[in-house]
Amino acid sequence: MLQRQSRKNRGGKSLIACWVVILATASICGAQSSEGAERKTAKYFESIRRQPSLLLEFLGQMPKGGDLHNHLSGAVYAESFIKWAALGGMCIDRATLSIVAPPPPCDRDQGRPPASAAYQDQLLYSQLLDAFSMRGWNPARESGHDHFFASFAKFGASASRNTRLMLEEVRSRAASDHLQYLELMFTPDGGASAGLGHQLGWNEDFAKMREQLRAGGLESILSQISKDLTQIESEETQDMRCDEPGADLGCAVQARYLYQVLRGIPKESVFAQMLTGFEIASRDPRVVGLNMVMPEDGYISIHDFNLHMRMLDFLHELYPKVHITLHAGELTLQIAPPEELFHIRASIERGHAQRIGHGVDVMYEHDPAGLLRKMAKEKILVEICLTSNDSILGVSGARHPLPVYMRYGVPVALATDDAGVSRSTMTEEYRRAVETYGLTYPQLKKMARASLEYSFLTGQSLWANFDKLQKIGICAGGAGKAKNQSSGCAQLLSTSDKAKAQWQLEKAFADFESSF
């Protein structure tokens, strides 16, 4: 901090004068000052890149845009699930180290103590933290892959009852991490559409199955989703005091939702969830798209993968405006045979994915160089999840394809995946990227900007040419400062959620860099 402050003070009166001009006009001086501030910030960054404490402080304060790959329940820390279970009168199954809901009632003698017992039993508390996250993972006992995915069922009973509290925690933590936007994956109908699909059964004719679902109760499920989201967000606003002085900083973090489809359940339920995702994203602007979740290497996930792509292809034709991002390539030869390492290309070409989550096995796909060029040309962003790729797949360092994606010009953005389970944050993802791959400050800025450019926020982008960082003409003069907006730019920012978020990020960068 002392180094940063001294650099701030050495800027001299000329820098202060230049900022005065910026606030008054969109002048050449303003452009030069912005560029100079970035150079000074980058220079300071290079001076601390091998000083972990200062690097952590820098990255913690750096604006990071959005987190595009974030599972809501996986983003919550284990401590919260235990607390909510205790407050909700839930029990612990000691045999499985899982939270369970009565009945039967909690019974210590039967190995089902109340969740509150964990606060008087340090061993139990530590065991739960380890079971719900990667905190105590022991590779000698269990693979990272199996431990990671098993954790969700263990805290699932607490998660399913506390969607609002999960959203509040995730938004508040995102604000402290200097994020401004989240796309959160969860299933807002609580499995109702999957149940409807199971009830009605499978039909090889997708069109007929769609009509059966729509006639069989899908409309009431869709209506309930919107009602539930409205109620949850209203309670969030009240709990976080978003309309009052001293509001929680998380109020400033925009949250949008990706309807998650469970790829590891029977095909009739998968289709019902997909249809629900397309329908609700067409109706409710808070749901900006859909994704498929659960282990990509699971039996049903592998066995039905091509069927899932056919479902997406069919529904995409009916709902072409609905955004799709897909987990693909979260595989290695240790957990899947080589003939199954084709999911990235298939997800793009047949599943119509506009973004890819993970993309770890890209170099094992057929014609990887051709695939990378295609992704670069079509601007298919990859949501890079370094910590979870290391924990789940054992892929890190030089074995991770992040440098290859960057070499080919494929858009990338860092993401947390499941920060609570991984015991990570977005700042930690940036730190890992810097320390592992030697990324520069401008490269980090580009990733942060890409997270908003390739988000599913509605409206026109602020950038006429994102690769060259050229703003559209009506907004070209400003650096994110409100007084630099032309009337045309102000009109754009009032009508485009995406451009408004991007403008806010540019302002945050200008403020951040002014301290150097």
What's the CATH code of the domain at 434?
3.20.20.140
Give the end of a domain, one of 113, 135, 160.
Answer: 160
381-384 and 355-358: which strand pairing?
Answer: parallel
For residue 8, the tally of other CB atoms under 10 A from its CB is 13
Among candidates 509, 454, 405, which has minimal Cα distance to 64?
Answer: 509
What's the pLDDT score for residue 305?
A: 98
Question: Which residues are CB-contacts of 350 (< 8 A; sequence separation ≥ 6)?
Answer: 309, 310, 312, 313
Say how far residue 346 (Cα) sits from the centre of its chain.
22
235 plus 296 within the same structural domain = yes
248 in a structural domain: yes
Instruction: Evaluate whether 255 touches 313 at the Cβ level (below 8 Å).
Output: no
Instruction: Evaluate whether 355 touches 329 at the Cβ level (below 8 Å).
Output: no
69 in a structural domain: no
272 plus 291 within the same structural domain = yes
What's the pLDDT score for residue 8?
A: 41
418 plus 495 within the same structural domain = no
Report the C-alpha gap between 68 and 83 in whole angstroms: 27
61 in a structural domain: no
151 plus 253 within the same structural domain = no
Domain ranges, residue 267 = 163-453
13 plus 119 within the same structural domain = no
DSSP state letter for 205: -
What's the pLDDT score for residue 222?
A: 98
Total tally of structural domains belonging to the chain = 3
Report the C-alpha gap between 401 and 245 in whole angstroms: 46
What's the pLDDT score for residue 487?
A: 84
Q: Where are the beta strands (DSSP E) in 312-401?
A: 323-328, 355-358, 381-384
152 plus 184 within the same structural domain = no
Q: Edge-to-edge, what's the strand order for the sheet holding 412-414? A: 66-71, 181-186, 254-262, 287-293, 323-328, 355-358, 381-384, 412-414
Give the end of a domain, one of 160, 191, 214.
Answer: 160
Report the C-alpha gap between 374 and 351 in whole angstroms: 15
398 in a structural domain: yes
Question: Which residues are CB-contacts of 170 (< 8 A; sequence separation ≥ 6)?
Answer: 70, 72, 75, 76, 182, 184, 255
388 plus 282 within the same structural domain = yes
83 sits in which H/E element = helix 78-87
326 in a structural domain: yes
Report the C-alpha gap between 144 and 248 in whole angstroms: 35
Residue 516 is encoded by which pair of tokens? 């150097």
DSSP state letter for 370: H
Provide the terminal-to-terminal Cα distance of the chain, rounded to the nearest Å.
10
282-294 tens-digit pLDDT = 999 999 999 999 9
What's the pLDDT score for residue 4?
A: 44
pTM over 0.85: yes
Residue 4 is encoded by which pair of tokens? 């940063």
146 plus 242 within the same structural domain = no
91-93 and 98-100: which strand pairing?
Answer: antiparallel
71 in a structural domain: no
Q: Mind spelling out the 3-state secondary structure of 222-278?
A: HHHHHHHHHHHHHHHHHHCCCCCCCCCHHHHCEEEEEEEEECCCCHHHHHHHHHHHH
468 in a structural domain: no
346 plus 198 within the same structural domain = yes
For residue 419, the tally of other CB atoms under 10 A from its CB is 28
Q: Where are the beta strands (DSSP E) in 299-391?
A: 323-328, 355-358, 381-384
φ/ψ (deg, to 5) at 234: -65, -45
235 plus 324 within the same structural domain = yes
Question: Cα Rg for the chain, rounded, in angstroms?
Answer: 24
Sign of the four-CA dihedral 118, 124, 126, 130: negative
Query: Is 151 buried (19+), middle (13-18) or exposed (0-12) by CB count in 10 A?
Result: buried
116 plus 143 within the same structural domain = yes
Residue 108 is encoded by which pair of tokens? 């210590």
Give the end of a domain, one of 160, 194, 217.
Answer: 160
379 in a structural domain: yes
Among candidates 402, 427, 412, which has minimal Cα distance to 467?
Answer: 412
* Per-residue tens of pLDDT for the chain, all 516 residues: 434 444 444 444 343 333 333 333 333 344 446 679 999 999 999 999 999 999 999 999 999 999 999 999 999 999 999 999 999 999 999 999 999 999 999 999 999 999 999 999 999 999 999 999 999 899 999 999 999 999 999 999 999 999 999 999 999 999 999 999 999 999 999 999 999 999 999 999 999 999 999 999 999 999 999 999 999 999 999 999 999 999 999 999 999 999 999 999 999 999 999 999 999 999 999 999 999 999 999 999 999 999 999 999 999 999 999 999 999 999 999 999 999 999 999 999 999 999 999 999 999 999 999 999 999 999 999 999 999 999 999 999 999 999 999 999 999 999 999 999 999 999 999 999 999 999 999 999 999 999 999 999 999 999 999 999 999 999 987 665 555 577 889 999 999 999 999 999 999 999 999 999
Report the C-alpha gap between 117 and 82 in whole angstroms: 10
203 plus 263 within the same structural domain = yes
